[in-house]
Amino acid sequence: MSADFVLYCILNTAVVVLISPLFVSLVKKVKAWTQGRQGPSVFQTYYTLAKLLRKETIYSPHASWVSRVAPVACMAAILTASLFVPLVWVTEPYGGIGNIILFLYLLVVARFFMALLGLDAGSAFGGMGSSREMSVSAVIEPTTIVVFAALAFVFKTLNIFDMMAAAVSAGTLKTPILILLAISLFIILIVETSRIPVDNPETHLELTMIHEGMILEQSGKNLALMELSAAIKQTLLMALLINLIVPWGIATTLSAAAILAALVIFLVKGCVLSLVIGTFESSMAKMRFFRLPGLFMMAFFFSTLIVIIEVFA
């Protein structure tokens, strides 16, 4: 392992942990604006996490070791996955790191632990959340695979590092593919981050919850871990979209100036995407649970189209 790669790991992890809460707050802010409210500060998620980390962790009397292990396991899986997606600096990949299939299944590992966590406390809502999450997951997984296959066809590689490097050197993609890919990745982003129309992150109604239902019994540090890992997951999927579709500004060499510039550009692009997510969420109601496959099919269809274009064009 080169020194560059170690440096990349440290830098990438630090960036993703530090900026993820910002994007979460920003989406909330945008949603508040569309409703004519001021909304919480853009730093609110940082304050909340800091507060939760200081708080006591309470376990349900029905909880087993799963409740103690799962938040950490979840965070570990997500942090490992974060190494696969370069945010500001693309270096040479090392070993299996950067493999897009492995990336997908690291996210699935986190989801697996989260679903166990939902069941473990023995509350009806957690079980309902887990069952729904698993149903959604079973339907979205083939779609995600096809979207990632489309990426692999477009960039002729399975490695995210190479994809981004290719995107940076090639500049903007051909327009139709660009649009189709952007829509597909955006749908994956919405589904994976439990946002409207799939799930409602702001609801207090336990009966309608998916993601929130699973973490309903969490408190203190464990809740902070779950919240932060969800935020990081969102940033990773946002980065995948941003750095492949609008790749300008990513640092390809190790220099402080280039990385700083890349960071600023990434932040700006991330803020714009948060704005888009917030507006998108505000523009519609949550779908009926059984209608969700229709949304996933869009991503599936568009990605299949990309594959066809790439193979035959």
Partner 1 sequence: MTGTLPHREDAASKAIREVLGGDAPARATRGPGGEWYVPVDKSSFERAIPEIAARKFVLISLFCVEGFSPESRHSLLYVLERKGSILVLVRAVAGGQATSVATIFPSAAWPERECRDGFGIGFTGTSDTRRLLLHEPYPKDFHPLDKAFTNAPIVTNDDVPAADEYPFKAMTGEGVYQVAVGPVHAGIIEPGHFRFSVIGETVFNLEIRMFYTHRGIEKLAEGKSTEDCVKVAEAVSGDESVANVTSFCMAVERLSGITVPDRAWYLRTILCELERCCSHLGDEAGMLTDVAFALGSSQFSVLREEVFRKNAELTGSRFLRGMTCIGGVSRDIPRDRLADLAEFVGQLRKRFRVGLSIVLSTPSVIDRFSTTGVVKRELLRPLNITGPVARASGGRVDVRLDHPYGVYDRFVPVHTPIADGDVLARFTVKAQEFLDSLDLIERLIAAIPEGPVQSNEPVRDGYALALVESARGQNLCWVRVKDGRIDRYKVRTASYCNWLAIEHAVPGNIVADFPVINKSMNLSYAGTDM
Binding site for partner 1 (CB under 8 A): 31, 34-37, 124, 128, 132, 196-197, 200, 202-208, 282-291
Q: Can you say whether residue 142 is alpha, beta or left, with left for phi > 0 and alpha for psi between -120 and 50 degrees?
A: alpha
Minimum CB–partner distance for residue 286 and partner 1 (Å): 4
Helices (H) and strands (E) in the chain, counts: 11, 0
Residue number with CB closer to partner 1 (81 or 209): 209
Residue number with CB closer to partner 1 (80 or 131): 131
Minimum CB–partner distance for residue 282 and partner 1 (Å): 4
Residue number with CB closer to partner 1 (96 or 294): 294
Minimum CB–partner distance for residue 293 and partner 1 (Å): 14
Burial (CB < 10 A; 0-12, 13-18, 19+), residue 113, is: buried
Residue number with CB closer to partner 1 (31 or 233): 31
Minimum CB–partner distance for residue 46 and partner 1 (Å): 23
Minimum CB–partner distance for residue 136 and partner 1 (Å): 12
Residue number with CB closer to partner 1 (30 or 49): 30
| Rounded alpha-carbon distances, angstroms, from residue 106 to 74, 140, 161, 172 | 9, 15, 17, 29
Q: Cβ distance 209 to 179 under 8 Å?
A: no
Q: Cβ distance 140 to 188 under 8 Å?
A: yes
CB atoms within 10 A of CB 254: 14
Residue number with CB closer to partner 1 (254 or 287): 287
Residue number with CB closer to partner 1 (284 or 311): 284
Residue number with CB closer to partner 1 (179 or 205): 205
Phi, psi (rounded to 5 degrees) for 71: -60, -40
Q: Which amino acid is at 226?
A: M
Minimum CB–partner distance for residue 64 and partner 1 (Å): 21
Q: In this structure, is the dihedral angle defined by the CA atoms of residues 291, 293, 296 and 298, taken in order, positive or negative?
A: negative
Residue number with CB closer to partner 1 (209 or 240): 209
Minimum CB–partner distance for residue 179 and partner 1 (Å): 22
Minimum CB–partner distance for residue 306 and partner 1 (Å): 27
Helix axes 220-245, 44-54, angle to 10 degrees: 150
Please name every residue paired with 159 in a beta bridge, in sequence order, or none if there are none.
99
Tokens of 207: 């009966």
Tokens of 94: 């090392």
Minimum CB–partner distance for residue 74 and partner 1 (Å): 23
d(CA 75, CA 70): 8
The DSSP string of 181-244 is HHHHHHHHHHHHTT-TTT--TT---GGG-SHHHHTTT--HHHHHHHHHHHHHHHHHHHHHHHHH
